[in-house]
Amino acid sequence: MLSTALPALGDAFGLILQPLVLAYLALGVCMGLAIGVLPGLGGIAGLSLLLPFMYGMEPVLGLALMVGMVAVVPTSDTFASVLMGIPGSSASQATVLDGFPMAKKGRAARALSAAFASSLFGGLVGALFLTMFILGARPIVLLFRTPELLMITVFGLSMVGILAGRVAIKGIVAACLGLLVGTIGEGASSGALRMSTYDMPYLTDGLKLVIVGLGIFAVPEIVSLLRQDRSISDRALLGGGWADGVRDWWKNKWLSVRCSLIGVVVGVIPGLGGSVVDWIAYGHTVQSAEDKSEFGKGDVRGVIGPESSNNAKEGGGLVPTLLFGIPGSGSMAIFISAVALLGSGQIEIGPSMLKVNLDFTYAIVWLLALANVIGTLICIAASGGIAKLTSIRFALLAPLLFMVISFAAFQSGQDLMDLFALFAFGLLGIMMRRFDWSRPAFLIGFVLSDPAETYANQATQIANSRFRKGFGEGIEYIFSPIVIVLIAVTAISIVIGLRQAKNIAPEGHVESGSRKAPLVFLLAILGYIVAAYLNASLIPDYSSADRVFPKFVASVGIVGGLVLFAQMLLKPETHPLFADRETRESGDRAYGFWSTLAWFAGLLALTSVVGFILALAAFLMCFISIRAGKSIIFSAGYTAAGIAFICILASLLNRDFPPGLIQSYFTLPWPLG
Amino acid sequence: MSFFNSARRIATGCAAAAAAASFATNVAAGGHGIDLEGKTVEWIIPFSETGGSAKWANFYAPLLSEALPGNPTIVVKFMPGAGSTKGANFFQEQEYEDGTLIFGSSGSTQFPYLLGDPRVKYEYADWNVVLASGTGGVAYLPPDLAGRVADGGVSAIADEDFIYGSQGATRLDLVPLLAWEMLGLNVDPVFGIKGRGDGRLMFERGEANIDYQTSSSYLGGVLPLVEAGTAVPWFSFGALDGNGNIVRDPTFPEMPTFKEVCDATDGCETSGDQWEAWKAFFIAGFPAQKMVFLPRGAPAEAVDAYAEAFETVKARADFADISAKRLGKYLQLTGGEAQVALASATQVPESAKDFVVNWLSDRYGVVLN
């Protein structure tokens, strides 16, 4: 094996180490960083932008451009996660938990450079692992059959334990709610509808992660910061941050190694994608830490863990893509079809790749590593400057953030409903944050809902067929050595998680308040879960595969909800059950909740009437002049800059804006129409 | 309607369309074309960036741009949703303006239309077809089962418990699922996979023991397995000749067609309602799988300009080479031939539709109201 690998590796370096190739790689990296910085936009948007230029391009140059772009998206999306508390993409949701509190304490630069150092390290571990592993990976990947995939999903779900918050049952109910929201739409097995109807086609496709993620995490943070009317950082920025961050990473290098390996392994397994890897890494970080008291309040280890894993995942994700031709993620799918456009189409991603194009395979792997190096250096260099954003008055940032997340949300389904869904999940996120329901638990449930249901159904069906052939064959199929190991790991993870969860507040400490508001919120959640249960019960027997999972999850949620309800009736008002942020933080708030939310609602309502660009112009103008209290001239300049930015972005990505009512009557020129 | 009738209908259509095509060419030669210089053509694909249709459109877009009058920029716009009916419904609402809007449909757009899906608000007859791209499919087995078939025919595996990874009974998978049933195989479809690649992976992991892939995926993904001895091709679905007969697939001339296998199997009939239904949906799903349309109201010169552009693409010296790799060796039909393909893909006999609708509801409980 070594005799084929070494010459190919040498050829690969010969291909890469040319000035022009490196220049293209750097160009790709810069584009990837620029796209990744914008919350909600990631590798898919970036690659779509490059696709038209790939036709007939010199293969190694095209690869450099594309790999450069894909590799650094999980690096630069850290900016939004740390600085704004907005998950830049699904890869850096967990980074928010500790990165954002650090930014609030004026340590943004330190958090960023620790994150980037971890990203770089993770990226290099991923590449190294691939180089050694790729020739022998095929049989190992094939060992992960449906029961193994199901167990990995269950292991991911077990992270809910450690992230459940002070009241464990609340976390479990939140996860059930997330799982149920994930089942909305057509069932994967026989197309039965759950909590949706063909009269509202939007829901039949299910909800998109971009919208749920932005709604649950971004909207509540933006609204909360706006109400306080100050900058993100509540104190002066600490100088010299970036070197400290790198030192922090070095101190935790073994944590970084472990999380990188988690990233590679989860990335390698086709079908799971990377949406959950950062949560597994975060859960592992917390479980393995000695002193857990600072997690959720700005512990740098909570940044290092997930960031080490999410770049390593990109390397791992190349395995199913290159070896099996099965894309590990949406961006990898575009990558496959873009590679076919290169040159005369001589590179075909898939099983033949290792035989015919081993040099290109290694070139891709090491372009990935190199892109990580370039991207990290640029990001670390920029982090001190960009961290200054946290000292700007937030009222000047918020309108632009609303603009970008609305645009990003609309790209997921190109439907006005996308904006309403964003608002609805924003409201849910605000309420969950207020009453201290674990938002990470909800999101983990949402992300893993589809794999959990699909793999459970498939494994049952295949196991039944095996049992028909013989009892031994069935048992052998279900309880393979890998499954047994995973069961043990999951059990340990749940025990450790539940025992320690009450000491860990992933979203900071929340005071308890009155009895009424938390009770009403609980009843609202319980109401939805009961509705989901009844709705699932209506699914007829011939589609029973689409009924079992939502019914089961809803049953767990109902039991948990009833237990909480009983506890609420019995416990005193000071119990953590009655956590309510409105009692504590109300002192340092300059603005009311509803009036702040109304600005966002106003943007969406106006969009549905006059279309996005006109609504945005009015929104930016009014917000800056009225809410932020700036002069008309300043507001006009701000508005013009904002509109110009979003128009350039949309035209580059070749995207449209949400149309409103008047656009259905009049034909207006782009970007108005 | 019997098989012979439908074959004759297709043959007649062929002749008529050929006449229309030659007429159209004359008109275009007269110089009444459209000019798209400096314009941007939007090509709507009702699927996400990641599917087979995206691959197909990305292959054609740069070639088409070079061949259209005025060399417009062509951007592929993805509009996924509701199993491609969202994008198709959107296209139905569009009226021809200046030739800068085209639509790419696929088997997954044709099937809901044929089956009377309530979400379908589009009508193929309103649109103007300018290209029809075909593909084929290959069924394959693990070596031990293939050996039993080689020795004792299909009846040798009649008692085997088959697992087949499927995307859903109303999708293109309808064609192989019906084929397994006609052969008398006892197949348990495992639904919920995200693409045919996942089905192949399930086969490679030894969980599924029967599978099919479309031609290009077979060439890229299964052929290495065949060479390694872990998979054996069984039959191709076949291809259509000019008279609407199923013949051997030009990409896989050494493989028998499903029709040949069916003929050789007791209890599998190549006539009657079941066969007609299979054939009709096979045609709608494979030989005329992907089509390019101009919206309703498109004038003849626009349709001709696009048809000619696709002709030019097909006439490129390197087309056979690059398309064989990316799309398989299949007919890329334009002009009158595309009309015939459209007709055969969307005008399915009522009896065939009824048969499939009943079969879906009896066998899988799928009710399309």
Q: Where are the domains of chain A?
A: 2-396+438-469+472-495
* pLDDT value of residue B282: 94
Which of 81-100 (B) contact A at CB < 8 A?
Answer: 81-82, 85-86
Q: Do A190 and B365 touch (CB under 8 A)?
A: yes
Whether residues B236 and B174 fall in one domain:
yes
Scanning B196-271, the segments in alpha helix (DSSP H) are 196-204, 215-217, 223-228, 258-263
Say how far apart CA B298 and CA B24 lie, in whole Å.
14
Whether residues B98 and B62 fall in one domain:
yes
Provide the 8-state DSSP code for B367. Answer: -
| Beta carbons of A625 and A631 less than 8 angstroms apart | yes
| Beta carbons of B344 and B288 less than 8 angstroms apart | yes
How do residues A408-420 score in pLDDT, each as one tens digit? Answer: 898 877 888 999 9
User: Which of residues A501 and A495 earns the better pLDDT score?
Assistant: A495
* pLDDT value of residue B1: 36
Closest CA to A271 of B56, B201, B348, B222: B201
User: Which of residues A528 and A394 earns the better pLDDT score?
Assistant: A528
Say how far apart CA B205 and CA A480 lie, in whole Å.
13
**Residue B364 belongs to some domain of the structure:** no
Q: Do A462 and B197 touch (CB under 8 A)?
A: no
Whether residues B337 and B253 fall in one domain:
no
Task: For chain A, give percent helix, strand, coil, nearest 5.
Answer: 75, 0, 25
Which of 227-256 (A) contact B at CB < 8 A?
Answer: none
Which of 125-164 (B) contact A at CB < 8 A?
Answer: 161, 163
Which of 293-352 (B) contact A at CB < 8 A?
Answer: 318, 321-322, 325-326
Q: Which residue in the set B81, B198, B318 is minimally distant from A326, CB to CB?
A: B198
Whether residues B206 and B332 fall in one domain:
no
pLDDT grade for B162, boundaries at 50, 70 and 90: very high
**Residue B367 belongs to some domain of the structure:** no
Q: Three-state DSSP class for A150?
A: helix
* pLDDT value of residue B53: 86
Closest CA to A94 of A113, A72, A110, A77: A77
Whether residues B219 and B274 fall in one domain:
yes
Q: How far is B197 from chain A (nearest CA, A)?
A: 6
Amino acid at A205: D
**Residue B52 belongs to some domain of the structure:** yes
Query: Rg for chain A (alpha carbons), in Å?
Result: 25
Q: Residues of chain B with pLDDT > 70: what percent?
A: 91
* Phi-psi group of A479: left, alpha or beta (phi > 0 → left; psi -120 to 50 → alpha; rest → beta): beta
Closest CA to A284 of A181, A159, A175: A159
Q: Is residue A586's pLDDT more than 70?
A: no
Q: Is B243 on the interface with A (CB under 8 A)?
A: no
Helix/strand/coil (H, E, C) string of A568-614?
A: HHHCCCCCHHHECHHHHHHHHCCCCHHHHHHHHHHHHHHHHHHCHHH
Q: Do B220 and A352 touch (CB under 8 A)?
A: yes
Q: Do A542 and B365 touch (CB under 8 A)?
A: yes
List chain A residues with CB under 8 Å of B227: none
pLDDT grade for B179, boundaries at 50, 70 and 90: very high
Q: Is residue A96's pLDDT more than 50?
A: yes
**Residue B245 belongs to some domain of the structure:** yes
Q: Do B201 and A44 touch (CB under 8 A)?
A: no
List chain B residues with CB under 8 Å of A542: 364-365
What's the Cα-to-Cα distance from A646 to each of A524, A611, A643, B274, rounded to whole Å? 37, 14, 5, 55
**Residue B171 belongs to some domain of the structure:** yes
Kind plus residue range of the DSSP H or E element containing B210 = none
List chain A residues with CB under 8 Å of B325: 340, 345, 348
pLDDT grade for A41, boundaries at 50, 70 and 90: confident
Say how far apart CA A248 and CA A586 lie, in whole Å.
35
Which of 204-233 (B) contact A at CB < 8 A?
Answer: 204-207, 220-221, 224-225
Q: How far is B203 from chain A (nearest CA, A)?
A: 10
Burial class from Cβ neighbours inside 10 Å (0-12, 13-18, 19+) for residue A269 reads buried
What ipTM is given for this predicted complex?
0.87
Q: How far is A592 from chain B (nearest CA, A)?
A: 38
Q: What is the DSSP string of A233-255?
A: SSSPPPTTHHHHHHHHHHHTHHH
Number of other CB atoms surrounding residue A229 within 10 Å:
17
pLDDT grade for A1, boundaries at 50, 70 and 90: low
Burial class from Cβ neighbours inside 10 Å (0-12, 13-18, 19+) for residue A116 reads buried
Q: Is A462 on the interface with B (CB under 8 A)?
A: yes
Whether residues B194 and B323 fall in one domain:
no
List chain A residues with CB under 8 Å of B205: 142, 144-146
Q: What tokens appear for B104 in the block? A: 């790419």
Whose tokens are 């700036």? That residue is A630
Nearest CA in chain A to B209: A462
pLDDT grade for A445, boundaries at 50, 70 and 90: very high
Whether residues B84 and B105 fall in one domain:
yes
Angle at B87 between CA B84 and CA B88, to 5 degrees: 85
List chain B residues with CB under 8 Å of A415: 81
Number of other CB atoms surrounding residue A101 within 10 Å:
22
Q: What is the mean pLDDT of the segment spanning B20-39? A: 57
Q: What rounded mean pLDDT belongs to chain A?
A: 87
Say how far apart CA A16 and CA B33 lie, in whole Å.
47
Q: Residues of chain A with pLDDT > 90: what percent?
A: 41
Task: For chain B, give percent helix, strand, coil, nearest 5.
Answer: 50, 15, 35
Closest CA to A272 of A152, A188, A186, A160: A152
How do residues A151-210 score in pLDDT, each as one tens digit? Answer: 989 998 988 888 888 888 999 999 999 999 999 998 888 778 899 887 887 888 889 888
Number of domains in chain B: 2
* pLDDT value of residue B264: 93
Q: What tokens appear for A430 in the block? A: 């605000």
How do residues A471-483 score in pLDDT, each as one tens digit? Answer: 999 999 999 999 9
* pLDDT value of residue B288: 87
Say how far apart CA A607 and CA A620 lie, in whole Å.
13
pLDDT grade for A652, boundaries at 50, 70 and 90: confident
Say how far apart CA B356 and CA A395 lie, in whole Å.
60
Residue B27 sits in a domain whose CATH number is 3.40.190.150
pLDDT grade for A540, boundaries at 50, 70 and 90: confident
pLDDT grade for A46, boundaries at 50, 70 and 90: confident
Whether residues B127 and B244 fall in one domain:
no
List chain B residues with CB under 8 Å of A461: 163, 188, 190
Q: What is the mean pLDDT of the segment spanning B189-210? A: 90
Q: What rounded mean pLDDT belongs to chain B?
A: 85
Q: Is B202 on the interface with A (CB under 8 A)?
A: yes
Q: Three-state DSSP class for B94?
A: coil
* pLDDT value of residue B24: 42
Q: Three-state DSSP class for B30?
A: coil
Whether residues B141 and B263 fall in one domain:
yes
Say how far apart CA B123 and CA B139 lie, in whole Å.
32
Q: Three-state DSSP class for A567?
A: helix
Q: How far is B12 from chain A (nearest CA, A)?
A: 39
Q: At what angle do helices A301-324 and A253-268 cross, to 10 degrees?
A: 30
What's the Cα-to-Cα distance from A371 to each of A323, A610, A630, B223, rounded to whole Å? 22, 43, 42, 34
What's the Cα-to-Cα distance from A317 to each of A26, A135, A321, B24, rounded to whole Å? 22, 15, 7, 50
Q: Do A454 and B192 touch (CB under 8 A)?
A: yes
* pLDDT value of residue A240: 57
Provide the 8-state DSSP code for A215. Answer: I
Say how far apart CA A560 and CA A565 lie, in whole Å.
9
Whether residues B248 and B315 fall in one domain:
no
How do residues A595-625 score in pLDDT, each as one tens digit? Answer: 889 999 999 999 999 999 999 999 999 999 9
Q: What tokens appear for A157 in the block? A: 């779900």
Interchain CB contacts (distance < 8 Å): A and B:
130
Which of 501-540 (A) contact B at CB < 8 A?
Answer: 540
Beta carbons within 8 Å of A246's beta carbon, 6+ residues apart: A113, A114, A117, A380
Q: How far is A461 from chain B (nearest CA, A)?
A: 7
Q: How far is A476 from chain B (nearest CA, A)?
A: 12
* pLDDT value of residue A584: 55
Domain with B200 in it: 137-284
Q: Is residue A514's pLDDT more than 60?
A: yes
Q: Do B197 and A55 touch (CB under 8 A)?
A: no
In terms of average pLDDT, the best of A112-116, A126-130, A324-328 is: A112-116
Q: Do B161 and A465 touch (CB under 8 A)?
A: yes
pLDDT grade for A4, boundaries at 50, 70 and 90: confident
> Which of these ranges, A233-242, A520-529, B122-131, B242-251, has the smallest mean pLDDT?
A233-242
Out of B284, B314, B340, a domain closes at: B284
Number of other CB atoms surrounding residue A172 within 10 Å:
24
Q: Do B206 and A145 touch (CB under 8 A)?
A: yes
* pLDDT value of residue A271: 65
Whether residues B23 and B96 fall in one domain:
yes
Say how far apart CA A425 and CA A540 lie, in whole Å.
30
Whose tokens are 């290694």? That residue is A362
Closest CA to A654 of A243, A46, A34: A46
pLDDT grade for B13, boundaries at 50, 70 and 90: very low
**Residue B357 belongs to some domain of the structure:** no
Determine the residue among A55, A196, A199 to mutate to test chain B binding: the one whose Cβ has the most chain B Cβ atoms within 10 Å: A55
List chain B residues with CB under 8 Å of A545: 191
**Residue B229 belongs to some domain of the structure:** yes
Nearest CA in chain B to A207: B81
Q: Which residue in the set A44, A51, A188 is minimally distant from B191, CB to CB?
A: A188
Say how far apart CA A64 and CA A530 lie, in whole Å.
52
Q: Is residue A91's pLDDT more than 80?
A: no
Say how far apart CA A95 and CA A116 lie, in whole Å.
12
Number of other CB atoms surrounding residue A491 within 10 Å:
12
Closest CA to B316 of B82, A573, A418, B324: B324
How do residues A301-314 score in pLDDT, each as one tens digit? Answer: 999 999 999 888 88
Residue B252 sits in a domain whose CATH number is 3.40.190.10
| Beta carbons of A620 and A396 less than 8 angstroms apart | no
Q: Is residue B10's pLDDT more than 50?
A: no
